[in-house]
Amino acid sequence: MNTYLESLAQLFGRAPRKPRKDELSPAAQKMYFYKKGEKVTKAQLIALHDEHHKNSKNKWRKRRWLTLIGVNLLFVLSFSLDIQLLEGALTASRFAGFHMADLNSALQVMLAHKTVLINLLIGVVTVFIMWIILGGRTFCSWVCPYHLVAEWAETLHLWLAKRGWAKNYTFHRGVRAVFYVIFALLAIVTGYTVYELISPTGILSRAIIYGPTMALVWVALLLLFEIFLSRRAWCRYICPIGITYGIVGVLSPLRVTYDMTDCKHEGDCRAVCLVPHVLDLTIKNRSIDVEVGLGADCTRCGLCVDACPTSSLNFEFKGLTHKPEKAVEERPLMPESHSSSKESAIDEAALISKKEKAKEENV
């Protein structure tokens, strides 16, 4: 229960904190103990990374981009070719006749209109169940068209930032929760779906389906802001859709899971992540257990899964994914340690030399 609350709190902006020693599970404590002093050179990491990704570079990103483009294309084709499979836009649609409604748009409409219509409710329930199963913010990275263009803008931003031509001003993440409340209140008070006016998701989705509009200028301005001033600002600090789906995702069985066993704590995953705070548990001494699911703010985009040189991050569907049992005993890093002497003071030097040996074996 506590982990769910913590996951929600972080969704609303709380910074993840370093757990106290007694909060770590014994297994995690043991593992961190043996990881102490373990040093990995950049060259080793690169070698590890290359070895790991020999056959599958950007595997999840490819799948995700295909899915995202496919879903949005289905909207377009349903209209332009009149195949009527997925009518409407991302804000509300009908899939093979079944009502679907974007949870955030539906929420804004209900708050503004103060009436709940049965069709809308059916659409909301359908979509709610769908995203509980599929992971909540999975919507963001696998469906939202703004996410895709923002990803491209991010690449440009990073390229420019490396040369000092772009800044990355950060904001407090809690500001997104503030926006959430503001837009909810504005909808109630004004009776207009105020957020929909500036929602790049809705604007882009409609532009793709029904043709370009002047509203795209606003989307372009947002992208420029992200490129030159603040990396992924909209998704990170503003978009209430992210919070809506994040809340749905708290309970979702589909998530990315972190296994610290092989982790080198080098931070490749955090460097590519849209919401790096969910990956803070990959920092040494931050994960409370050997295996932990990432928080609700995770968009399940899989960039970290692609980036991780040690397969420490993986997609998991709770109860369905069968993970091959990792035989901890066989690991060279943990020789005969699990038995008795975990608390007794082990000679540090001996340990380090052991590890070095192990590393040589590894290489």
| Residue pair 13/173 in contact by the 8 Å Cβ criterion | yes
Of 105, 138, 141, 310, the one binding another protein (CB under 8 A) is 105
* Residue 112 found at the interface with another protein (CB under 8 A): yes
Contact range with another protein by CB under 8 A, out of 52-60, 98-106, 243-251, 298-306: 98-106
Of 1, 20, 22, 42, the one binding another protein (CB under 8 A) is 42
Contact range with another protein by CB under 8 A, out of 129-137, 184-192, 296-304, 329-337: 184-192
| Shortest distance in whole angstroms from residue 254 CB to another protein | 23
Query: In Å, what is the CA distance from 61 to each residue of 134, 168, 258, 272?
Result: 17, 24, 18, 12
Of 231, 255, 300, 354, the one binding another protein (CB under 8 A) is 231
| CB of 94 or CB of 331, closer to another protein | 94
DSSP one-letter string for 277-338: GGGGGGSTT--SSSEEEPPTT-----HHHHH-TTS-EEEEETTT--PPPP-GGG-TTSTT-S
| Shortest distance in whole angstroms from residue 209 CB to another protein | 7
Of 2, 55, 115, 344, the one binding another protein (CB under 8 A) is 115
Mask of contacts with another protein, 270-309, x by CB under 8 A?
xx-x--xx-xx--xx-------------------------
Q: Per residue, what are the HEC states of 157-207?
A: HHHHHHCCCCCCCCCCCHHHHHHHHHHHHHHHHHCCCHHHHHCHHHHHHHH
Q: Residue 168: which residues within 8 A CB-CB, separation 6 or more? A: 157, 161, 229, 230, 231
Q: Is 311 left (phi over 0), alpha (psi -120 to 50) or beta?
A: left
| Residue pair 209/94 in contact by the 8 Å Cβ criterion | no
* Residue 34 found at the interface with another protein (CB under 8 A): no
Of 146, 237, 245, 258, the one binding another protein (CB under 8 A) is 237
What does the alpha-carbon distance between residue 95 and residue 71 come to, in Å, rounded to a whole number?
11
| Residue pair 315/321 in contact by the 8 Å Cβ criterion | yes
Query: How many of the chain's residues bind another protein (CB under 8 A)?
Result: 80
240: enclosing H helix or E strand: helix 240-249
Site for another protein in 142-171 (CB under 8 A): 168-171
* Residue 334 found at the interface with another protein (CB under 8 A): no
* Residue 15 found at the interface with another protein (CB under 8 A): yes
| CB of 50 or CB of 329, closer to another protein | 50
Site for another protein in 204-223 (CB under 8 A): 206, 209-210, 213-215, 217-218
Pair of tokens at residue 67: 């899915």
| CB of 65 or CB of 95, closer to another protein | 95
The 3-state DSSP class for residue 236 equals helix
* Residue 192 found at the interface with another protein (CB under 8 A): yes
* Residue 238 found at the interface with another protein (CB under 8 A): yes
| CB of 63 or CB of 174, closer to another protein | 174
Contact range with another protein by CB under 8 A, out of 49-57, 61-69, 107-115, 353-361: 107-115
Contact range with another protein by CB under 8 A, out of 83-91, 137-145, 242-250, 313-321: 83-91
Q: Is 347 left (phi over 0), alpha (psi -120 to 50) or beta?
A: beta
* Residue 355 found at the interface with another protein (CB under 8 A): no
Closest by CA position to 283, among listed 269, 299, 297? 269
Residue with tokens 């709190």: 9
